[in-house]
Structure 1
Amino acid sequence: MCRSVLPLLVTLSPALLLLLPDYTQEEHWKDYKYGRQQDSELSDKKEFCSWKCLLFTLQWPGAFCQSLHQPSVCLIPQNVNNWTIHGLWPQGVMNCCSCWPMFKSDVQELEAELNEHWPSLLKSQSSFHFWRDEWLKHGACAACVEGMNSPLRYFQINLKLRAQFDIHK
């Protein structure tokens, strides 16, 4: 299912598909999603981690601005002259908890790096509000994975992926 999404997004921006380990045995999948718990506890939980892969995308700021119906609403920060993060999205999400808010203090230590590599390109939206929306829509869904189970960790993973994959190569 995830693989069919990739060709469509590649035409818009470079994308990287990240697959979770193959949990084919039901007991391992439950351990992965909820940690080791008693079976009675599992039956009471909703299945929030229904996805099996993540899609990491980068975008060229100028192309993003041109894709808008009103390019005048776009603003590329002066310090941005490279590909920026477009998002890290769990694919095939069925249920997602939108109950985990994000505060500015959650990403304060990453703010300079996020402003450089993941800025808001819309005049009407501050970068923090953009990041908060990305967290609520995608990050909270990814939070069922231990390495991304907070806003700070989710954005750290994005920045690490951005550094790891040099699009110019």
Structure 2
Amino acid sequence: MGLKWSILIKLFIVQYLSVLCLAREKEDGFDFFYFVQQWPGAYCDTKHSCCYPKTGKPAADFGIHGLWPNYDDGSYPSSCDPDSTFDKSQISDIMTSLQKEWPSLSCPSSNGYRFWSHEWEKHGTCAESQLDQREYFEAALKLKEKVHLLKSLKKAGIEPNDELYSLESIKKAIEDDIGFAPFIECNKDSGGHSQLYQVLVCVDTDGSTLIECPTLPRGRCGSEIQFAKF
């Protein structure tokens, strides 16, 4: 009986140390980013509706939602440094670009600071070993230039006109243009119809190099989805 307990205790210690090592490894870094863009027509065309920014109605284009560090196993770090708070002075010279490319549609209407602060403090602080606050927002803006989703879709004849398009045709249009397969996320309009909401592509830890996604989020769209007007 004593030998069995000794073996069990040793196995428990080994497993415990393995968990600690894994946790420490994850604290020290992450594996890749999701770069997420959202379609404003789908954000606004729900029961919750939306509020335009104080700068006015955004352009009919995909807007940045965030640049999110992730692990290859599908988990992700969050709010990694409570002492690293959002500092708008660090992005003052790119404010106009952020207002255009990364607008907030949540209510009440805002100047964007609340949205950007949330994204930095929840996600950006977990990438601080690679990108400081200024570099984080600048990296997202540069990725928006590289991954121009509306242009990719329009090349394939896919327009935001409330029509239905096959999910596969949307994915193919983007992959043909940027060279990497996207993940499509849908939501439902006020009538309960599935619509194109967000597009995720994967980016290396440098914050600039597109890669194939090591893992994909949960969630499914129907085979036919609506591309809402805005």
DSSP 3-state at the match of 2:113: helix
Equivalent-residue separation in structure 2 for 1:65 and 1:51 (angstroms): 33
Equivalent-residue separation in structure 1 for 2:145 and 2:133 (angstroms): 19
- Displacement of 1:142 in angstroms is 1.1
- Within the candidate set 48, 51, 64, 1:70 is matched to 48
- Counterpart in the other structure of 1:132: 117
RMSD: 2.1
- Displacement of 1:94 in angstroms is 4.3
- Counterpart in the other structure of 1:103: 87
Distance verdict in 2 for CA 1:94–1:128, change over 3 Å: closer
TM-score by length of 1: 0.63
- Counterpart in the other structure of 1:141: 126
Equivalent-residue separation in structure 1 for 2:42 and 2:90 (angstroms): 30
- Counterpart in the other structure of 1:28: none
Computing the radius of gyration from Cα coordinates, the structure with the larger value is 2
- Counterpart in the other structure of 1:117: 101
Q: Residue 104 of structure 1 aligns to which amino acid in structure 2?
A: K
User: What percent of counterpart residues are identical?
Assistant: 30
Which is bigger in relative contact order (C-alpha 8 A, separation at least 6)?
Answer: 2
Query: How many residues get paired?
Result: 120
Q: Which is helix-richer, 1 or 2? A: 1
Give 5+ residue unaligned stretches, structure 1: 1-44
Matches within 5 A, 1:10-159: 48-67=27-46, 69-71=47-49, 73-75=50-52, 77-91=56-70, 92-94=75-77, 96-124=80-108, 125-145=110-130, 148=131, 150-159=132-141
Q: Residue 145 of structure 2 aligns to which amino acid in structure 1?
A: A
Distance verdict in 2 for CA 1:94–1:127, change over 3 Å: closer
Structure 1 ranges of 4+ moved more than 6 A:
none
- Displacement of 1:75 in angstroms is 2.1
CA contact (8 A) 2:77 2:126 kept: no
